[in-house]
Amino acid sequence: MSGILKLRCAPGVPAMAVDVMSPDYRVVRRVMLTPGVEHLVEVPSEASFLRCYLPSGRAVTLADPGNLDREITPDALMLANRTSYVSKGSETSIAAERDRRGHLEARASGSFESLEAVRRYQATRSTPAPGGSAWPPPAGVDVVPLGEGVSAAIRSHDGAVVQGSLADNGRDASWELLGPTFDPPFELRLDTPAGPVRMAIPAHAQHTWARLDTPARQHGPIVSIRMQTEAPVADTILNYLADGETAAAGAMRDWASHGESLLKSKMSDPYAAAVGAYLLLRLGDYAHLRDWPRNLADRFPALPDGCVIWAWQLIQTAPSREQEIAEYLLMAAARGLPVYGHGTRLLFDGLTLLGDVGRPALERLQAQVGALVRTSPVTMWYEPVTTGAPPATTPEMTFDVAFGTENAAL
């Protein structure tokens, strides 16, 4: 029997994409769920159910046949996250699930056995150090050793070192980053046996944490890095895109189209605006992009992404403006590597399209980055080979970079 489904979420549920599904598994409607916003969806049956795309990348289903007034709670999501098990009101299982997660965190003092196990841990790890945050916090250090000959350090754009602290028997390193959201990006530098690796960190990041595991079931060590920023929706979008869930990210289309407002306020957040613009670019939604990416390009020179986005918007919508496209692509290259991995790929592709005009800039950038770590949502690269001390060119280290979520369980 058809009806109107009321859909909202309880406090503590992060912004996420939700598919309202019919009993025959059609997507009736896809919405972005945020606290305080109620959606009314016409459904073909009271047996319709929900598919929620958690910010950590997993999708879970929630069914409650006959109930057309649905409030999604953190507990329901946590239970469902266990393996998409459909809760039939088993509240005691929630406590059991919490116990299980506690066990998971306790295991973190050793190395995980596989990349999947590391990802599961990072998807549930709370922002403070696992095993409870010590107070007073441990003394900060400039360079944090992660083991296996790998150390990490974060510097701000002016070269100042951000002190990091170690937790969990020296396995977890974390940094608190409290800079203005419109500052140039931070940089994480990892010194590894295969040479230094650099990674951009958006200035609106609040926390960054990293750990190194040497799983028995996987070839080579894994360095997993998570960032949590002041724009959780942007974080979720980047996680969706990294997992290929562009369609789910499409639910954030409206949020992204307000990127312009993120540039206007006094405490502007050009990073969140850039993420929104990348999403719209990927969706081919140029109507929502209008011309505000040009403001992003012109007003925030420390963020080369603005130039890349504007140039690509022109390539897609006004390819005859070749001069302007070339100008913005070359300007991006002159400013350095974009903060986001997708931007760096687009910049390289754009310079390739410019042919001889773009080749010098392309070769300069390629020489600057020895090898890009292309699986990272933010730009990450091995420093290039230098004569006399060549690093391995087939690094066996796996980098697992993603954005963390405010609610650790999701």
Partner 1 sequence: MSLHHPLPPATVELQQPRLHALVIGVAHYPHLLGGDPAAMARDPLSLGQISTPQHTARAIAGWLTTRYANHACPLGSVELLVSTPGGNADGTEAATADNIENAVGRWFTRCSSHPKNIAFFYYCGHGLEKGAQFLLPEDFGNPAIVDPWKNCIDLDRFRAGLRASLQAEALFCFVDACRETPFSMLTQVNVSGRPLVGGNGFGTALSTNGLYNAAASSRQAYGPATEPTYFAQALLKCLEGVASTNDGTAWVVDANSIDAGLTKMLRYYGDRVGQSLKPQTDVMGSTVLHESGRGLVLASVGCATAQASQCAEIELTRGAVSHRAVMTDPKPFERELAPGDWDVRIRFPNGEFPDSQAMTFTLLPGVWQGVPYP
Partner 2 sequence: MPVVFVHGVNTRKSSPSYEAGRLTIERFLQHSLAGVTLDGKTLPAGFTVHFPYWGDLATSFAWNMQALPGPDVDALGTGGVDGDTRELVALIRDALGPGARVDEPLVGLARYQFATAVDVLCDTVLQHPQGLPPAEVAEFVVAAQLYALQFAAQAGPPWMTTVQTDAQFIGQLTAAVTTATPGLNALGLLGSIGSALQAGVQRIKQAVGGAKTKLIDRAGDFASTRALAWGREPLNGVLGRFFGDVFIYLNSRGTAQAPGPIPRLILDEWDAARADAPHEPFIVVAHSLGGVISWDLMTHDRPGVDVDLFVSIGSQVSHFEEMKLFRNSDPAVPGNDLSRRAVKPAHIRRWINVFDEVDIFSYACARVFADVSDFRYDTHTYVIKAHGAYFTQARFYERLRARIDQL
Which residues, at least 6 apart from 141, have a Cβ–Cβ distance to it below 8 Å?
163, 164, 165, 166
Phi, psi of 233, rounded to the nearest 5 degrees:
-65, -40
Q: Which residues pair with 147 in a beta bridge?
A: 150
Which contiguous run of DSSP H or E holds residue 362?
helix 359-368
Using CB under 8 A as the binding rule, whether residue 390 contacts partner 1 is answered as yes
Q: Which is nearer to partner 2, 31 or 115 (CB)?
A: 115
Q: Which is nearer to partner 2, 194 or 401 (CB)?
A: 194
Residue 38 Cβ vs partner 2, minimum distance, rounded to whole Å: 51
b/e per residue 158-188 (b: at least 16 CB within 10 A): eeeebebbbbbeebbbbbbbebebbbbbbbb
Which contiguous run of DSSP H or E holds residue 69?
strand 69-72
Which residue, 171, 14, 177, 175, is CA-closest to 105? 171
Q: Which does 218 bind (CB under 5 to 8 A by kind): partner 1, partner 2, none?
A: partner 1
Q: Which does 180 bind (CB under 5 to 8 A by kind): partner 1, partner 2, none?
A: none
Return the residue of 66, 83, 266, 389 that touches partner 1, per CB under 8 A.
83
Which residues, at least 6 apart from 4, have a Cβ–Cβ distance to it below 8 Å?
40, 41, 42, 43, 68
Interface map 347-386 toward partner 2 (x if CB under 8 A): ----------------------------------------
Interface map 390-409 toward partner 2 (x if CB under 8 A): xxxxxxx-------------
Which residue, 373, 404, 405, 345, is CA-closest to 225? 404
DSSP-derived letter for residue 268 is -
- Contact between 312 and 281 under an 8 Å Cβ cutoff? The reply is yes
Return the residue of 46, 148, 327, 349 that touches partner 1, per CB under 8 A.
349
Using CB under 8 A as the binding rule, whether residue 102 contacts partner 1 is answered as no
Which residues, at least 6 apart from 186, have a Cβ–Cβ distance to it below 8 Å?
154, 155, 156, 157, 162, 177, 179, 200, 201, 202, 203, 205, 208
Residue 390 Cβ vs partner 2, minimum distance, rounded to whole Å: 5
For partner 2, the binding residues in 200-239 under the rule CB under 8 A are: 219-220
Residue 218 Cβ vs partner 2, minimum distance, rounded to whole Å: 11
b/e per residue 31-49 (b: at least 16 CB within 10 A): bbbbeeeebebebebeebb
- Contact between 43 and 30 under an 8 Å Cβ cutoff? The reply is no
Q: Which is nearer to partner 2, 219 or 266 (CB)?
A: 219
Residue 265 Cβ vs partner 1, minimum distance, rounded to whole Å: 30
Return the residue of 325, 330, 331, 378 that touches partner 1, per CB under 8 A.
325
Select the span of 33-41, 140-148, 243-251, 263-271 touching partner 1 (CB under 8 A). 243-251
Count of chain residues binding partner 1 (CB under 8 A): 60
Count of chain residues binding partner 2 (CB under 8 A): 13
- Contact between 177 and 160 under an 8 Å Cβ cutoff? The reply is no
Q: Which is nearer to partner 2, 100 or 374 (CB)?
A: 374
Using CB under 8 A as the binding rule, whether residue 261 contacts partner 1 is answered as no
Residue 115 Cβ vs partner 2, minimum distance, rounded to whole Å: 16
Q: Which does 100 bind (CB under 5 to 8 A by kind): partner 1, partner 2, none?
A: partner 1
From CA 236, how far away is CA 195, in angstroms rounded?
A: 31
For partner 1, the binding residues in 278-297 under the rule CB under 8 A are: 281-284
Return the residue of 16, 32, 41, 59 that touches partner 1, per CB under 8 A.
59
Question: Count of CB atoms within 10 A of residue 376's CB?
Answer: 21
For partner 1, the binding residues in 150-209 under the rule CB under 8 A are: none
For partner 2, the binding residues in 176-195 under the rule CB under 8 A are: 192-195
State the residues that interact with partner 1 by CB under 8 A: 21, 24-28, 49, 51, 59, 61, 63, 82-86, 88, 100, 114-116, 217-219, 243-248, 281-284, 315-316, 319, 322, 325, 342, 345, 348-349, 352-353, 355, 362-363, 366, 371-375, 385, 390, 393-395, 398
State the residues that interact with partner 2 by CB under 8 A: 192-195, 219-220, 390-396
